[in-house]
């Protein structure tokens, strides 16, 4: 698509006098496909980086950075660093939500991707415990916290940039395109890790080759930054900036504070809506990659293959589900997905007891397709709960809190549960309970498909 001419708009909210505003394309709708793809590329790279760490924590980071005579303790320590990034995500929400709601969606996304790239490549360059002693895990946790800050601003900005450029009646469709980024990032990380494992073996991977996926992030981040800097700012944000320029007192200097004051109920319920799906996602593509091989003797390649096929199936239905939600509404499909996840959670994780690759793959495929029913429309549903001037902060805060509570601590909680009850059934009951909570929160919220997005 040829580049459209830029036009200058008044200074964005919170910009210094005399500072240049972000260029904005005159016709946002004609830019919609390009912006959606750019959002997808950036989100995929961010989640590639994030998932590489999760996979590495399941396979190798425990012994390398937290050596112990007890494999369970090493895994707990590695998963604790995985959870640490979720603790720093709220800081990312505050930082990038403020930038995104005051200075622009695109600017926040460029900074978040750059931060993620620096942190991920840094992990690949770290010395291990055997070389640097206690300094190694300290540096690992520090870089992991920076990854979390970056992720705190990624999801909300990516879906907003796509949704706010979308043509009428296709908001969920365009917002769901970057929503496929987490699963694509996982598939990309698996496509890198599996060949390395098959080439050098587990010993070689544990010794040195685990660094390769982290270092490859350099190339991906450069591509992502180029893509993101070539797209236009959100037309909805531009309109909000014009209004704020005409009435400066209406601007919120601290969007999170305003959000908590004006919309605490929607923030709480929006968090609940996404909490069950977050648990399904992280237990399936992170925790089970460690649990299956270590506790049940399932080959690592079998677990990676099952999770990858399930993720691919979820991606395949993401856009059709989102398009359907533009026609019939968000809630019917999300309710169906939530009910399905409640019912299927126990059978899905019970399949691990079979130790059969085909059975596990089938169970994971059904589970991740049900997750897509919940999470395809949520990319439009959560932003539609909040007004334009608080939307970046509101959508990000709800999704990131859900990811932190339902996903970030899921591997840690699951490890503890399985240390007391040695059965994969406990994973199903734990996940099913969180999906039930999501169902109840969704029932308490209204349909948002016809919400005026420019407000």
Q: Give pLDDT, residue 69.
A: 63
Domain count, the chain: 1
Q: Give pLDDT, residue 246.
A: 56
CATH number at residue 153: 1.20.1250.20
Whether 283 contacts 60, CB under 8 Å: no
Within a domain: residue 25? no
Q: Give pLDDT, residue 266.
A: 96
Residue 24 bridge partners (DSSP): 7
Q: Report the C-alpha gap between 57 and 76 in whole angstroms.
A: 10
Within a domain: residue 8? no
Domain span including residue 350: 30-243+252-443
Q: Report the C-alpha gap between 412 and 398 in whole angstroms.
A: 21
Whether 364 contacts 348, CB under 8 Å: yes
Q: Give pLDDT, residue 4.
A: 32
Within a domain: residue 175? yes
Give burial (CB, 10 Å; 0-12/13-18/19+) of 8: exposed
The per-residue pLDDT for range 6-36, each reduced to its tens digit, is: 233 333 333 333 333 333 334 445 678 888 8
Q: Give pLDDT, residue 229.
A: 87
Within a domain: residue 2? no
Whether 352 contacts 423, CB under 8 Å: no
Q: Give pLDDT, residue 16.
A: 35
Give burial (CB, 10 Å; 0-12/13-18/19+) of 133: exposed
Share in percent of the chain as helix, strand, coil (round to 5)? 80, 0, 20
Within a domain: residue 6? no
Q: Give pLDDT, residue 455.
A: 62
Q: Report the C-alpha gap between 208 and 200 in whole angstroms.
A: 10
Within a domain: residue 1? no
Segments of the chain with pLDDT less than 50: 1-28
Q: Which two tokens stand for residue 48?
A: 């590639």
In 3D space, the residue among 286, 366, 347 whose CA is nearest the CA of residue 83 turns out to be 286
Q: Which residues contact 138 (CB under 8 A, 6 or more apart)?
A: none
Within a domain: residue 3? no
What 3-state class would DSSP assign to 24?
strand
- Using CA atoms in the order 53, 57, 62, 64, what is the torsion angle rounded to 10 degrees? -40
Largest CA distance in the chain: 66
User: In terms of DSSP bridges, do strands 6-7 and 24-25 run parallel, antiparallel, or are they unpaired?
Assistant: antiparallel
Within a domain: residue 59? yes
Alpha helices in 329-424 (DSSP H): 330-350, 357-384, 391-402, 410-420
Q: Give pLDDT, residue 252.
A: 62
């Amino acid at each position: 698509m040829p580049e459209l001419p830029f036009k200058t708009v008044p200074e964005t909210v919170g910009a210094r006098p005399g500072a240049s505003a972000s260029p904005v394309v005159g016709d946002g709708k004609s830019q919609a496909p390009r912006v959606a793809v750019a959002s997808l590329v950036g989100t995929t790279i961010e989640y590639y980086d994030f998932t590489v760490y999760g996979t590495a924590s399941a396979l190798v980071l425990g012994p390398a950075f937290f050596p112990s005579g007890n494999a369970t303790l090493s895994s707990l320590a590695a998963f604790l660093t995985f959870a640490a990034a979720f603790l720093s995500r709220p800081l990312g929400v505050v930082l990038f939500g403020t930038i995104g709601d005051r200075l622009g969606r695109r600017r926040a996304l460029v900074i978040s991707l750059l931060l993620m790239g620096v942190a991920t490549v840094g992990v690949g360059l770290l010395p291990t415990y055997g070389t640097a002693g206690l300094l190694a895990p300290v540096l690992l946790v520090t870089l992991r916290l920076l990854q979390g800050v970056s992720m705190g601003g990624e999801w909300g900005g990516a879906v907003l940039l796509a949704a706010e450029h979308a043509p009428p009646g296709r908001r969920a469709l365009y917002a769901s395109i970057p929503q496929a980024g987490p699963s694509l990032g996982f598939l990309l990380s698996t496509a890198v890790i599996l060949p390395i494992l098959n080439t050098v073996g587990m010993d070689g991977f544990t010794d040195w080759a685990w660094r390769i996926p982290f270092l490859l992030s350099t190339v991906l981040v450069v591509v992502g930054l180029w893509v993101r800097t070539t797209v236009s700012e959100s037309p909805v944000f531009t309109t909000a900036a014009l209004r704020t320029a005409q009435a400066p007192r209406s601007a919120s200097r601290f969007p999170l504070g305003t959000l908590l004051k004006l919309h605490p109920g929607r923030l709480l319920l929006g968090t609940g809506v996404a909490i069950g799906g977050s648990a399904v996602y992280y237990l399936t593509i992170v925790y089970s990659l460690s649990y299956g091989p270590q506790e049940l003797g399932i080959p690592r390649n079998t677990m990676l293959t099952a999770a990858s096929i399930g993720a691919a199936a979820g991606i395949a239905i993401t856009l059709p589900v989102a398009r359907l939600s533009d026609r019939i509404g968000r809630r019917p499909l999300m309710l169906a997905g939530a009910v399905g996840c409640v019912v299927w959670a126990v059978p899905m994780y019970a399949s691990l007891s079979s130790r059969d690759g085909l059975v596990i793959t089938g169970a994971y495929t059904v589970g991740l397709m049900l997750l897509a029913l919940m999470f395809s429309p949520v990319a439009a549903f959560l932003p539609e709960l909040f007004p334009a001037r608080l939307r970046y902060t509101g959508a990000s805060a709800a999704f990131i809190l859900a990811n932190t509570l339902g996903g970030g601590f899921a591997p840690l909680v699951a490890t503890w549960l399985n240390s007391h009850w040695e059965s994969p059934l406990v994973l199903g009951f734990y996940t099913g309970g969180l999906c039930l909570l999501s169902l109840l929160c969704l029932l308490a919220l209204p349909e948002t498909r016809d919400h005026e997005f420019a407000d």
